[in-house]
Amino acid sequence: MLPVARKPIVQYVAEELVANGVNQMLFVTGRNKASIENHFDSDPELTRVLANTNKQELLDELKFEELEANFFYTRQRQQKGLGDAILCGESFAGEQPFVVALGDSILGMNGESKAVARISELFTEMRASCIVAVEEVDAHEVSSYGIVDPGEGEGDWVRVKNLVEKPKQNEAPSRWAISGRYAFSPLIFDMIRRVKPDKRGEIQLTNAIQLLCEEGKRVLALKLTPADRRYDIGNFPSYFETFVEFALADPLYGTDFRKALHRILERK
């Protein structure tokens, strides 16, 4: 629920998914995250008060209530890692392929990213078992991401021979980092169940994808384009930068904020 400029991050992610044709969404949350469920509920009283007091601008911010999607919620009861969180969606997915979007990344500034739609198309076209979105990161950043070992490819995708979660810089097979958007066949659930928890007791999704590779299943990496630029909210430096960039781009307050920022910087 952390905000970036005027909206909570989770709202950007939900809007991105709807714009990419996703209309059934399961939020895997944790304890004390009821605010997400409340946020996506409609609030007729608030809408009425805002309408009666001519607060159109604030009313516009509630537009997400009209998002054409059904929202479902479940909780991961223990913090056992991303792989375990995906497992919480098993009965929701059933026998269907599904996409996963991590809540710590916004793709594209004005929701213009079509990465998830491209991932889904590639998944169907190539009869893949898994697609991961990847972006090239600086060498010193590889230890913060899952990194793919790329094979041959075509256009904007490559085959994934192997993957490694957060490798040391000198052990990384490439600089192609897994970027928080995935598509899976339900086969992934069995792979997750086979993964042993790491030293911190977490079940890594990357290790489950690695098992798919070992089983000879088709795993592909789709490269993000500049329109899919990833804003990482998972650490303070890039969260601050993202907030400022989005605030500067705000159609209503951006210009004044730019002036304020100049004033702050000149004070130094």
What residue ranges bind ligand G1P (CB under 6 A)?
82, 102, 104-105, 145-146, 165, 177-180, 205-206, 234
Residue 47 vs 225, nearer CB to ligand G1P: 225
DSSP 8-state class, residue 226? G
Residue 105 vs 113, nearer CB to ligand G1P: 105
Residue 14 vs 134, nearer CB to ligand G1P: 134
Count of helices and strands (H, E) across the chain: 11, 12
Q: Are 237 and 244 in contact (CB under 8 A)?
A: no
- Rounded to a whole number of angstroms, the minimum distance from the CB of residue 81 to ligand G1P is 8
Residue 50 vs 175, nearer CB to ligand G1P: 175
Residue 50 vs 176, nearer CB to ligand G1P: 176
Q: Are 45 and 135 in contact (CB under 8 A)?
A: no
Q: Cα separation of 43 and 46, whole Å?
A: 5
- Rounded to a whole number of angstroms, the minimum distance from the CB of residue 223 to ligand G1P is 14
CA triple 115-116-121, angle to 5 deg? 95
Residue 205 vs 220, nearer CB to ligand G1P: 205
CA triple 60-62-65, angle to 5 deg? 125
- Rounded to a whole number of angstroms, the minimum distance from the CB of residue 233 to ligand G1P is 9
Q: Closest residue to ligand G1P, Cβ-based?
A: 146
Q: How many CA atoms lie within 13 A of 35 on its CB side?
A: 9
- Rounded to a whole number of angstroms, the minimum distance from the CB of residue 41 to ligand G1P is 27
- Rounded to a whole number of angstroms, the minimum distance from the CB of residue 183 to ligand G1P is 15
- Rounded to a whole number of angstroms, the minimum distance from the CB of residue 258 to ligand G1P is 29
Q: Which ranges of 56-200 does DSSP label H, i.e. alpha helix?
A: 56-60, 81-87, 90-93, 115-125, 187-194
Check the CA dihedral 140-141-146-149 and report its sign: negative
Residue 113 vs 179, nearer CB to ligand G1P: 179
Residue 29 vs 105, nearer CB to ligand G1P: 105
- Rounded to a whole number of angstroms, the minimum distance from the CB of residue 107 to ligand G1P is 11
Residue count of the chain: 268
CB atoms within 10 A of CB 6: 15
- Rounded to a whole number of angstroms, the minimum distance from the CB of residue 177 to ligand G1P is 5
Long-range CB contact pairs, 249-257, < 8 A, 24+? 249/5, 249/109, 249/110, 250/5, 250/6, 252/57
